[in-house]
């Protein structure tokens, strides 16, 4: 079950639409309304909430880029077709 889920996830991450969606979400995350939501005089572990928000967004974006790279490597090493998920030589 897990290999099928991983293959489906990696196949989905290789699509150009996924890259565009995550880029737009990153831009929205740094836009005016979200910055003002977290710009409060609240601290967690003596760290201002805005700094925690920016650091968490930065770490999440690095993790998403890592997943994109792993997906591309997985597809290339297994000779999978990005559209169908089958090996290049197989036919349905």
Q: Is the pLDDT of residue 40 over 50?
A: yes
Q: Is 84 helix (H, G, I), strand (E, B) or coil?
A: coil
Q: At what angle do helices 49-77 and 2-13 cross, to 10 degrees?
A: 100
- Single out the residue of 35, 21, 34, 30 nearest to residue 64, CA to CA: 21
Q: Is the pLDDT of residue 47 over 60?
A: yes
Over residues 41-64, mean pLDDT:
92
Question: Would you say 6 and 80 are in contact if contact means Cβ atoms under 8 Å apart?
Answer: no
Q: What percent of the chain has pLDDT over 90?
A: 25
């Amino acid at each position: 079950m897990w290999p099928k889920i991983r293959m489906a996830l990696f196949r989905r991450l290789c699509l150009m639409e996924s890259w565009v969606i995550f880029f737009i979400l990153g831009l929205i995350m740094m836009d005016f309304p979200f910055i003002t939501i977290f710009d409060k005089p609240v601290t967690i572990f003596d760290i201002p909430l805005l700094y925690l928000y920016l650091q968490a967004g930065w770490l999440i974006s690095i993790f998403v880029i890592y997943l994109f790279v792993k997906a591309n490597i997985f597809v290339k090493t297994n000779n999978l077709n990005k559209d169908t998920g089958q090996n290049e030589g197989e036919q349905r």
